[in-house]
């Protein structure tokens, strides 16, 4: 199965892929970390009041989900992913090896944060992330709801991301102080 087609998800693709798949396996990607590192000016913020969304920032490792796609479904899945993940081209499409929970090592399609894109926020402190997320709202709703959904779903998948939990606590405190 060396020519198998895989997709790696680290955020909403983990619990809401939106495409058909033949296999779903927990996986780890080395060399990248889940981070709120992309300014959101449409879905979770505006140009006047940007929010933040997830990206795969350089460094560390990240637990997520890998999906094996049947060859007959690949073209449809790939087109869907480009539309979903690349509306403002803030990600770089790449192929990276991921380690599946069962020990297999497979190459998967991933969307890495483009550190040269104008919406790249870089490595922000938790406090700065909380300042940007608290109160931000875009076409897809409140930024805090996106973060809350992430933490909840990560927990359901058995992933405890302490930095995301800490960020949620900071954002909720800010929103409670300024309803």
> Which tens digit of pLDDT belongs to each residue from 29-41?
999 999 999 999 9
Q: What is the rounded average pLDDT for all residues in the chain? A: 92
Alpha carbon separation from 1 to 5, 7, 177 (Å, rounded) = 9, 15, 54
> Which tens digit of pLDDT belongs to each residue from 53-65?
999 999 999 999 9
DSSP class of residue 68 equals E
Could you identify the residue written with the tokens 């979770």?
44
pLDDT higher than 60, residue 2: no
Distance of CA 176 to the CA centre of its chain: 26
Q: 115 pairs with which residues across the strands?
A: none
Residue 141 host element (H or E): strand 141-142
Whether 89 and 26 have beta carbons less than 8 Å apart is answered as no
Copy the structure tokens of residue 135.
């109160």
Copy the structure tokens of residue 168.
């949620």
Residues labelled catalytic: 85
> Which tens digit of pLDDT belongs to each residue from 124-146?
999 999 999 999 999 989 999 99
> Which tens digit of pLDDT belongs to each residue from 3-14?
679 999 998 888
Q: Could you tell me what percent of the chain has a pLDDT over 70?
A: 96
Helix 126-133 with 143-156: angle, nearest 10 deg:
120
Q: 95 pairs with which residues across the strands?
A: 109
């Amino acid at each position: 199965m060396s020519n198998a087609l895989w997709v790696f998800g680290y955020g909403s693709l983990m619990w809401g892929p939106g495409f058909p798949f033949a296999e779903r396996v927990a996986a780890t990607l080395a060399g990248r970390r889940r981070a709120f590192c992309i300014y959101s000016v449409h879905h979770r913020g505006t140009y006047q009041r940007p929010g933040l969304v997830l990206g795969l920032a350089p460094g560390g490792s990240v637990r997520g989900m890998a999906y094996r796609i049947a060859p007959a479904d690949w073209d449809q899945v790939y087109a869907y992913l480009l539309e979903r993940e690349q509306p403002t081209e803030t990600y770089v499409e790449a192929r990276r090896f991921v380690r599946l929970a069962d020990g297999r090592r497979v190459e998967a399609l991933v969307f890495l944060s483009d550190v040269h894109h104008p919406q790249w926020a870089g490595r922000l402190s938790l406090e700065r992330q909380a300042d940007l997320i608290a109160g931000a709202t875009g076409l897809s709703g409140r930024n805090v709801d996106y973060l809350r959904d992430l933490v909840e779903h990560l927990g359901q998948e058995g992933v405890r991301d302490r930095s995301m939990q800490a960020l949620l606590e900071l954002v909720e405190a800010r929103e409670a102080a300024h309803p």
